[in-house]
Structure 1
Amino acid sequence: MKRSYSLTLKRNVVSEVMKGHKCSIVARKYGINSQTIYRWIREYKEMKENYRKREVL
């Protein structure tokens, strides 16, 4: 069953991992699969890159 997570939770989780906390520990802390967190990080990086490209235009 697919779960829905709030944008605030996603931001907090991604932020913790980006600050250097181990993904496995953060995943356990929030009860989220680590692969889900890796996907959120990838999406965050892609979104950030797309935003930068838009600023150049």
Structure 2
Amino acid sequence: MIESFDVGDVVRMKKQHPCGSYDWEIIRVGADVKIKCIGCGRIVMLPRSKFQKNAKKIYG
């Protein structure tokens, strides 16, 4: 489970996005986390608990 993350970090998620990418950029942090797909640019908002559970690795 990922504990610390900040806006601008690139995160590798457990599940692949339909476009084929696993990597997402964090756009906004709060009660919800807004992330943007590196592959296609799609923006998704997730509850913080679900984001922390599904994130595998942070690339600074």
TM-score, normalization by structure 2: 0.25
Taking CA–CA contacts closer than 8 Å with sequence separation of 6 or more, which of the two structures ends up with the larger relative contact order? Answer: 2
TM-score, normalization by structure 1: 0.26
From the two aligned structures, give the one with the greater helix fraction: 1
Flag the structure with larger Rg.
1
